[in-house]
Structure 1
């Protein structure tokens, strides 16, 4: 198993969601109705991409790791050592063999990227969330939530 790509982004998930989209999918539309399963799993696979739902924090660190085969999956965040608050796995398709991160306020990928290039169009994606548990006070700074996305060919 080889790690092909690794990146971390400081992100602001407006409307509690962000997207992994195939930049050549001009018909991309995020779901407007959120089902009970989507709320429970906190993700939704689309024909070309994936919607990830976040908890109450506006700030996230999004980590993306792309592997050439399924890696070992740690039971906790490897940086903080704290357990993941939720873990889900889904299939995702990116026919152009690349994807970008977008959001409701910016649904189209930026022309210059960043783009993630893939070896094939079908991947498994393991999404691991480490989120603050408890009530938040907007007047007090909090650590961003961590959402780790691990991808490998399916």
Structure 2
């Protein structure tokens, strides 16, 4: 099961200077999409709880670190949540690829072997693409 994620975040209430968007694909396996759904439903909240996100005012380094920390934190949350689930759900899992898009940059995070590409539209009939991550890392 694939769970797409799209959030437009306008943090004027918290005095953030920038609008940004979070996009993600969570490609689950062996559990009818339960784990991928959990990540899609909770990753934004977990990301917004990180110290680096709370200090984010633009640029790339704080958002990149916030995404790293959010992935680690949601793994802990997921493991705790799975303890209360049945055996078939505990056998499941998911890959994840997320892109935080700000006015300055695209910051990509991935877990597992999912790949993120940027497709460049041009005048030719083909659409060349640029890999934004290494799906083997």
TM-score normalised per structure 1: 0.26
Give the number of the structure with larger relative contact order, counting CA–CA contacts within 8 Å between residues 6 or more apart. Answer: 1
More strand by share: 1
More helix by share: 2
TM-score normalised per structure 2: 0.28
Larger Rg: 2
